[in-house]
A and B are shown apart, each in its own frame.
Chain A
Amino acid sequence: MMMVGILVGMFVGLVPGLGGLVGFALLIPFSLSMEPLVGLAFLLAMSAVTTQTDTIPAVILGVPGTAAAMATSLDGYPLAKKGQAGRALCASYYASIFGTLVATALFLLFLPILRAVIFAFGQPEFFMLVMLGLILAGSLAGNSLSRGLIMAGFGLLLSTVTLETSTGEPRFAGDIIYLWEGVPLLPVILGIFAIPEVIDLARRQSSISKTSYDTRVSGLWWGLRDCLENWWLIIKASTLGTIAGFIPGLGGQVAEWMAYGTAVASDENPKSFGKGNIRGVIAPEAGTAAQKPGALIPTITFGIPGNGGMAILLGVFMILGLRPGPEMVTTKLDATMMMVWVIVVANIIAAILALFLQKWLILLCYLRSTIMVPLVLGTMLVGATMANQSFGDVVLFFLFGVFGYVFKHADWPRVPLIMGLIMGKLAEQYLFLSTNLHGFKWLTDRPIVWVIGAVTIAVVVVPAIKRYRKANLADDGQPANQSVSGEDD
């Protein structure tokens, strides 16, 4: 099943306009009928390798397969034009593998610290942490703090739609029996992420790439040598990628640009970047690859997903009966380690496959949108219905698809909404247990709660003050800069 996941991941990474979230959308329905760990391996393998193959169109055609390959194309494409496509691609595959390995090593290194932190936490700390994660994601995803936080709040509110067991009264569900078990995750995720992508794919109304390409791909050893010579850059880029993955809301795009920035800043000849500097390929690839294991850490330990893909994965966790928290680093440590190693092994297998098949894989970039759109849409509609096997799924899929399209183009981030929907149930449970066990004293008696609370307030207040200052500068006639944001997996 892992191999199927790898192949699907390679496909969605390769075809510009798809990407990891669409990959999740396509595979989740199938994973639900599998053994929990097999299902997770299937999804993780898919998610891990999208950043391997998205480099192929980025280097050969100058068209990034996903948003996370934009920086790679800056130097990869000029290298391809110099006839060094093979060198750039091979360097990117090796950088991805090394990036994943560095992130795994960091994970193992910090595991004892993580354990200690988790055991110091009770229900109130977990509640505050969930809220911090959500607010962090809401404030970092997209260009507007308030829009992100409104979406996170709306997600939380959606998670409270249910039939209350204590009173037997439906809460926000009215007479719609379909909603009595809560808003189902699958049709919402599929609708909100996949339909907008499909509409945009159809809107382009042309083959995904019209560029011709050079089929001469060679330089396996040259790429490896480049990586070995730049080992320190790989470690720096991977560490930054792991940190970017760990912080909810940042995502692969930020990891990639942070890594690219490091490469430029540490180079003797910064002007060579953008003209075909191999370090401009190695750093972003190592950074994005390391971001995935990095994002897995808060997801499995604290239940705070590091990015959109991990938010979906957390939802699948819960559907499959796994619960993030202390268990994942104690009694279920084997499951955690399995997930980490799946990412590593999937990256190695995908790199080997890509090395041998890239000449043929590139042909997939020429699939017309008129073929892709109905097939992807049909598969997603089937997938959306598989959770509850009800027409309610179809309605939700459609409604959230339309909303998702509006949100995407109005620049209202969708990831915080999904994170709110997924984390809302956990948060409500933690809040209920906290107040039940400690009354409202948990707000005043627990120092860790204060610390997390202070960080949460800072996350909201500091950017608001910065924005206010920026607006004042704009009032004085000075142009304001746009912030970097990324809503990707």
Chain B
Amino acid sequence: MTISQLVDLLLTLFFGLVGLAAIIMVGDFPFRDQLFPVVASILIIIFTIGSGVTIIRNMRLGLDNDGDQESIRPSEGRAGDGIHGVQQDFKTVRRIIGLITLLVLLVFLIGHMIAIPVFIFLYMKLNREPLWICLVSAGGFYAFTRAVLIETMNVAFPVPYLFDWLGL
């Protein structure tokens, strides 16, 4: 079984279970409120069964999930990368998702207005951008957000948890 087949199988299973759970969950609702979710769920269940059967059939025949001879999908890696290239790609993606997670956590803790400029500065500095570019980008972003969003458009960002805990 290839990674793409495993991912497809897991996603198919996930959506199938979601469809099934949805039908059970709306069981107690009046007819008008359960009609449409049931229609959508049935659509999901029918096609997850179809998709599941196709995946298993293709696995047996040694085909990829698009019905073609097994090959790496274009999105899975660049031609000629080899296993090292794919591993390197995976490492990079993991690092970027980790950085985005850090940004989200920072936003919760210290708020958009501080967290995002700090993230911009750190990301650029970690990637060896010159200090002046890091400062101009982070400062520029802060100035733009304050001037356009907060002062002009009166956007109220949610109060960060740290400020809440400190009673600020």
Contact = CB atoms under 8 A, between A and B. Distances in A.
A150 B100 contact: no
A406 interface: yes
B47 interface: yes
A394 B26 contact: no
A386 B124 contact: no
Contacts of A59: none
Given A146-B51, A410-B11, A377 B67 contact: no
Given A385-B157, A482-B68, A378 B51 contact: no
B123 A171 contact: no
B101 A164 contact: no
B75 A381 contact: no
A171 B40 contact: no
Contacts of B26: 171-172
Given A370-B129, A374-B124, A381-B103, A411 B51 contact: no
A202 B44 contact: no
A474 B63 contact: yes
B139 interface: no
Contact of B32 (A166, A375, A412): A166
The range of chain A's interface size is 35 or more
Nearest to B125: A370
Contact of B33 (A164, A375, A382, A483): A164
Nearest to A157: B40
Contact of B44 (A153, A409, A467): A153
A368 B128 CA distance: 11
Interface in B89-107: 89, 92-93, 96-97, 100-101, 103-104, 107
Contacts of A428: 36
Given A368-B129, A377-B103, A157 B112 contact: no
B100 A195 contact: yes
A203 interface: yes
A402 B98 CA distance: 11
B40 A394 contact: no
A370 B40 contact: no
Contact of A153 (B29, B47, B129, B155): B47
A389 B158 contact: yes
Contacts of B12: 150
B131 interface: no
A378 B123 CA distance: 11
A406 B14 CA distance: 13
Contacts of B43: 149, 152-153, 156
Among the interface residues A368, A382, A406, A412, which one has the most CB atoms of the partner chain B within 10 A?
A382
Contact of B36 (A154, A377, A408, A431): A431
B22 interface: yes
Contacts of B92: 202-203, 205
Interface in A408-444: 408-412, 420, 424, 427-428, 431-432, 435-436
Interface in B38-76: 39-41, 43-44, 47-48, 50-51, 54, 57, 61, 63, 65-69, 73, 75-76
Interface of A: 30, 33, 143-144, 146-147, 149-150, 152-154, 156-157, 160, 164, 166-167, 169, 171-172, 195, 198-199, 202-203, 205, 368, 370-371, 373-375, 377-379, 381-382, 385-386, 389-391, 394-395, 398, 401-402, 405-406, 408-412, 420, 424, 427-428, 431-432, 435-436, 464, 467, 470-471, 474-475, 479-480, 482-483
16 contacts: A144-B66, A146-B47, A153-B44, A157-B22, A171-B25, A199-B96, A202-B92, A373-B96, A374-B124, A389-B157, A394-B107, A411-B65, A411-B73, A431-B36, A431-B39, A471-B63
